Structure formats: structure tokens, C-alpha cells
Amino acid sequence: MNLASYMKDRQALVDRGLNRLLPAARPLKLHRAMRYSLLAGGKRLRPLLLMASAECCGTPAARVLEAACAFECLHTYSLIHDDLPALDNDDLRRGRPTCHKAFDEATAILAGDGLLTFAFELLARCGRRAGDRRALEAVALLARAAGSRGMIGGQTADLEAEGRRLDAAGLSYIHTHKTGDLLTASVECGAVLAGAPPARRAALRDFGRRIGLAFQIADDILNVEGSQAKLGKKVGSDAELRKATYPALFGVEKSKRKARQELQAGLKRLEPFGRAAEPLRALARFVVERDH
Amino acid sequence: MNLASYMKDRQALVDRGLNRLLPAARPLKLHRAMRYSLLAGGKRLRPLLLMASAECCGTPAARVLEAACAFECLHTYSLIHDDLPALDNDDLRRGRPTCHKAFDEATAILAGDGLLTFAFELLARCGRRAGDRRALEAVALLARAAGSRGMIGGQTADLEAEGRRLDAAGLSYIHTHKTGDLLTASVECGAVLAGAPPARRAALRDFGRRIGLAFQIADDILNVEGSQAKLGKKVGSDAELRKATYPALFGVEKSKRKARQELQAGLKRLEPFGRAAEPLRALARFVVERDH
């Protein structure tokens, strides 16, 4: 399969969906800020994983579009709040001024809140096509993965770890929750909305967990080795803040090996799905081997 | 009926529910901050309205406890973010240091995010008792009322109005959305979870809308006339910020009359419910006639 054309096609679907679904009317400034951050490009990795997972269970991508967009709203809100002066204090994101730089801090806080809330509004709409039970399960999944024992917990631990020595267990907690939980949930959500039987759902969840970890390790390595132009943010900023990262703890070579191992173990869980899992396999490889 | 003992009983139910339902384990600081703001007392008005509305439709309060707690989590998150330096920059809330004062700004932002997300986790759990369809409808209701076209929209408009002259339409937009939408949704959510037929649900929604408006007018009047000790925050702070308020636009007497009119119109919508609506009636009077 041709991953580039697959991604381009699904990304266009998501971009059109976001543009259509997101409110634009009053209050204008708030909706401009939400759209500014949401429609700034980006790989749409979580929506793509969700759609590929649904496809792998026999449900066309377009039928889970609202849920895919919900995950992107959730992800974008987390970036907006993470970039705030009180948190990471970043001026650039995807090569453009961050939301609080382009607007102001109050608007950025509220735009993040708005996107987080809108994610659940979108999931609630999935009931029409996927049925109420599956949609409600998607709500539960996202809330748990994005909550204080999930993504927000990981963000908190990451902030607390700045400037401190962190052991492998501490680093694993941050990676598992800060980025891993949402990536895992996006894969599992595709399976849930497609009505996958429990064993297949569990396989996809484990695939998601491994890909999530590999993604984060790859991200850490890129932060050491990448170029600013490709990343759209300052390279080496993690080291500057003395943030805990895989390469800092285990070295670059061992980190790369770990990422490949997780990828292989994840791909193994896709074997029962046969050809239907091709997009998911290609995305998994892309996640680990990408250079930006 | 004895409103004081009704409120005390239901408030205790909500406080115990929140304490039991809210996570407490790792990350400790984050959960401490979430609990600090959530378990700081407060009238629990939204949970009480939700429970009284369900009772009025024949469903016992304890059966909608998760949803009642969800609305309090949502409300508390909005207070935490509203108090932040970039927004209202308040140091006191309910007589205690605000969340970012007791902890720090990053923790307050994330604790707010955590409570917002947890509200939806709680609503997702309502499916067990109320059925998936009603629980999903509750998710849709809360997301819409709390979102960028609801509460967050009202907050944005309120911030933008500071120091500007506002007309009645502008003030009405702020009141309708900043506090009204969530109060209305709490009443409607009780009806939805109790499986009220459409006409009763519409009556309760309209009752909620009118009580929400009366509540906000009463709040504005208290800000002019109240005492700091009773309010737990600085009196006259709205005037200091030249915020648009009912008394500023229409005078205190005319504002009081408007609040009473909305109360009467709201009570009228409860007539078909007979004695079952007594708690809701008493709460409505309390909302408008309270002195703190």
C-alpha cells in the first residue's frame, strides 16, 4: 500500500471534518483561537490511527470521522495548555507562534478548555452512527486516557521532573501517560466504534500501547538529533530544561533498539487482522521511523 | 418542606460522593489540588438542582449522584480557571486562597483540566443505572452547555466586556451563557436521566433557564450590597473592574424586580409536577432570595 497517499487522503478528510464541525460564530475571538491551533496542519496522527483501527475492523474511515476529530481537538487542547507560560512557556509550535503568543494568555486557556469540551460534544454525536453503547464507551475511554490518571497525570509528572534526576520507572510513568494513553485510546476507540470483539479490541489496545511508547522514544531521539526546521520547534530544548528522556537515560543507540522492539511486538499483535491491517502497520512504521 | 434539612442532606450526599469518586493516588499534587478546590464547601447548587429535578420526575437523588458530582466538577474547574492571573486574577475563593495561590499556576491549570475531563468520565458511568441513551444525552447536554457556545463563550464575552460600555443585549449574552447555561443543563440533565417525557423536559429546561438568569441577577446585586465575610470574596470587585452587571445597567430596584419576575415565571412551569416539585421550588426561591 501507498502510505503517503493514504495519509494525504485521510488527513484531508480530517481537515475538512474539523473545519466543518468546529463552530465559527460568536464569540469570534475564541473560535478564531481554537481554529488557529486546530487548523495549523500537523500530522493528524491520532485521527489517522483511530480511522485505520476502525478500517482494520471493517468500518470505513468516514463513519468514525467525528471521533477522529474529537481526538485531534483533545490533542490540540493539550498542546495549547502545555505551551502556556506557566507550563513549558513555548513561543513556537508547528513553526508558528503558539496560541497565547498569537492571541493572549486568557484566550489560550479558554480556547484549550473549549477544544477539550468540544471533543466530548463530538463523541456524543457518534451515537447516531455507532449506537449509544459504543459512543458512551468512547466517551469513557477518552475521559480516562486524557484525565488526571492519564495524559494530565503524565504532564504533571513531566513538569515535576524538570531539573531532577529521574529513574527508568519515573520516565516510564511520564511516557506511558503523557503521550501513550491518548495514542492507545485513539486505536482502541476505533475498535470500539467498529464493534470489535473483545480479543481483537485487546490486541489493538496492546498494539496502541506499544506504538505509543515507540512514538515517544522516537520523539525524544528527534529532540536530540532532529533539525529545527523539520520539527518546527527548538531542538535540544528538552536537554536545556534537563527533562528526562530516553536518550538521556539509556543513550541514543539503546533507545533506537527499544523503539524497534516495541514496533515489532506491536506489529505481531496485528497478524490476526491480515490485509485489513495494512494501513495500521504502515502508520506504525511511520511513527517510529519518521524524521519529524 | 424544610429546605435547610433537604439541602443539608443532599449536600452531604454530594460531598461524600465527590470524596469517594475523585481519584487520590498518583500524581499526588495534582489530585490534592483538584480535591482542594472541589472539597472546599460551596452550596453544591448545580448538583442539588440536578437531583431535585430528577426527584421531581420520580427518580431518587442517589440514583443520579454521579451526574450531580459531574456538574460540580465542571463548575469547580470553571472557577479555578476563572481565578487565574491571566483571567480574573483572584486570590480568594470561598474564603480560602484560590487554587493557583495555594499551589501554583501550572498545577491550577492542570487541576482545572483534570476536573473538566473527570466530569465526562463520571457522566459516562451513568449508563449503568440510567441506560446508555440517557447517559449519552447527558454528555451531549453538558458538553454543549459548558463549551465555547455556552459557558466558555460567556466567560470570553465577560472578559472582553471589562472596561467597556455594554448594552442590555451584550449583558444578556454574558448572563445567559456564563452561568445560565450550566444551571439550565443541570436541571435538564436531571430530567433526562429520569427519563422525563419531552413536554416535562421542556418545562424543566425553561424553569432552569429562568432560575439561571435570576441567580445571576441576584449574584450581581450581592456583589453591590453583600458583605465580604458572607461572600468569601471581595465585595464591589465587579464595579472596580467596571464589569457589566444588572444593577449597573438597570439599577438595584429594577434588577430585584426582574429577578422576582423570572422566579415567578419559572415556578409557573413547575405547576404540572405537583408536590414532587417542592424541593425544586424551594431551591428556586433560595437561589433568588439568598444573602450569600
Q: Does A214 touch chain B (CB under 8 A)?
A: no
pLDDT value at B227 more than 90: no
Q: Does A284 touch chain B (CB under 8 A)?
A: no
- One DSSP character per residue, chain A reads --HHHHHHHHHHHHHHHHHHHS--SSSHHHHHHHHHHHTS----HHHHHHHHHHHHTT--GGGGHHHHHHHHHHHHHHHHHHHSTTTT--SEETTEE-HHHHS-HHHHHHHHHHHHHHHHHHHHHTHHHH-HHHHHHHHHHHHHHHSTTTHHHHHHHHHHHTTS---HHHHHHHHIIIIIHHHHHHHHHHHHHTT--HHHHHHHHHHHHHHHHHHHHHHHHHHHH--HHHHSS-TTHHHHTT---HHHHH-HHHHHHHHHHHHHHHHHTTGGGGGGGHHHHHHHHHHHH---
The domain total for chain B is 1
Assign B290 a pLDDT band (cuts: 50, 70, 90).
Answer: confident
- Mutation choice for A interface testing from B83, B156, B160, B177 by most A CBs within 10 A: B156
Note the pLDDT of residue A33: 98
- Nearest-CA distance B282 → chain A (Å): 32
Residues written for chain B: 292
Note the pLDDT of residue B233: 57
Note the pLDDT of residue B241: 52
Residue A168: CB atoms within 10 Å: 11
Give the lowest-confidence range in A282-286, B39-43, B271-275.
B39-43
Residue in B with minimal Cα distance to A33: B148
pLDDT value at B175 more than 80: yes
Which chain B residues are Cβ-neighbours of A145 within 8 angstroms?
Answer: none
With CB atoms and an 8 Å threshold, state whether A109 touches B84. Answer: yes
Note the pLDDT of residue A41: 85
Give dist(CA A264, CA A258) in Å, integer. 10
Note the pLDDT of residue A239: 54
Assign B167 a pLDDT band (cuts: 50, 70, 90).
Answer: confident
- What is the rounded average pLDDT of the residues A269-275? 97
- The three-state (H, E, C) secondary structure of A183-238, written as one string: HHHHHHHHHHHCCCCHHHHHHHHHHHHHHHHHHHHHHHHHHHHCCHHHHCCCCCHH
Give dist(CA B5, CA B20) in Å, integer. 22
pLDDT tens-digit map of B129-142: 999 999 999 999 99
Give dist(CA A38, CA B65) in Å, integer. 35
pLDDT value at A274 more than 90: yes
Give dist(CA B39, CA B51) in Å, integer. 19
- Mutation choice for B interface testing from A69, A98, A139 by most B CBs within 10 A: A139
- Mutation choice for A interface testing from B28, B110, B126, B177 by most A CBs within 10 A: B110
Give the lowest-confidence range in A90-104, A228-242, B22-36.
A228-242
With CB atoms and an 8 Å threshold, state whether A148 touches B86. Answer: no
Assign A235 a pLDDT band (cuts: 50, 70, 90).
Answer: low
Cα separations in angstroms, B176 against A26, B186, B212, B270:
14, 14, 8, 21
- What is the rounded average pLDDT of the residues A144-168? 91
Average pLDDT, chain A: 92
Assign B239 a pLDDT band (cuts: 50, 70, 90).
Answer: low
List all residues of chain B from 57 to 116 with a beta carbon under 8 Å from chain A: 77, 81, 84, 86-87, 104-107, 109-110, 112-114, 116
Q: Does B25 touch chain A (CB under 8 A)?
A: yes
Assign B223 a pLDDT band (cuts: 50, 70, 90).
Answer: confident
pLDDT value at B237 more than 70: no
Note the pLDDT of residue A236: 58
Average pLDDT, chain B: 92
Note the pLDDT of residue A230: 55
Note the pLDDT of residue B231: 55
Note the pLDDT of residue B168: 87
Distance separating the N- and C-terminal Cα atoms of chain B: 22
Quick check: bond before A247 cis, omega within 30?
no
User: Which structural domain range is residue A124 located in?
Assistant: 3-289
pLDDT value at B183 more than 90: yes
pLDDT value at A150 more than 60: yes
Note whether residue B292 is domain-resident: no
pLDDT value at A115 more than 90: yes
Q: For chain B, how long is the longest CA-to-CA vector?
A: 51
pLDDT value at A30 more than 80: yes
pLDDT tens-digit map of B28-50: 999 999 999 999 988 999 999 99
Residue A15: CB atoms within 10 Å: 18
With CB atoms and an 8 Å threshold, state whether A105 touches B86. Answer: yes
- What is the rounded average pLDDT of the residues A159-184? 89
Q: Does B280 touch chain A (CB under 8 A)?
A: no
CATH of the domain at B264: 1.10.600.10
- Are B69 and B122 within 8 A, CB to CB? yes
Strand partners, A92: A97
Unique residue bearing C-alpha cell 501513550: A180
Q: Model's pTM, two decimal places?
A: 0.95
- Amino acid of residue A39: L
pLDDT value at B272 more than 80: yes
List all residues of chain A from 111 to 140 with a beta carbon under 8 Å from chain B: 112-114, 116-118, 120-121, 123-125, 127, 132-133, 135-137, 139-140
- Are B112 and B77 within 8 A, CB to CB? yes
Note the pLDDT of residue A87: 96
- What is the rounded average pLDDT of the residues B213-241? 70
The angle that helices B105-125 and B28-38 make with each other, rounded to 10 degrees, is 80
With CB atoms and an 8 Å threshold, state whether B27 touches A86. Answer: no
Torsion angles phi and psi, residue B97, rounded to 5: -55, 140
Query: What letters, b where the CB count within 10 A reaches 16 and e where it falls short, cover A235-273?
Result: beebeeeebbbbbbbbeeeebbeebeebbebbbebbeeb
With CB atoms and an 8 Å threshold, state whether A106 touches B87. Answer: yes
pLDDT value at A233 more than 70: no
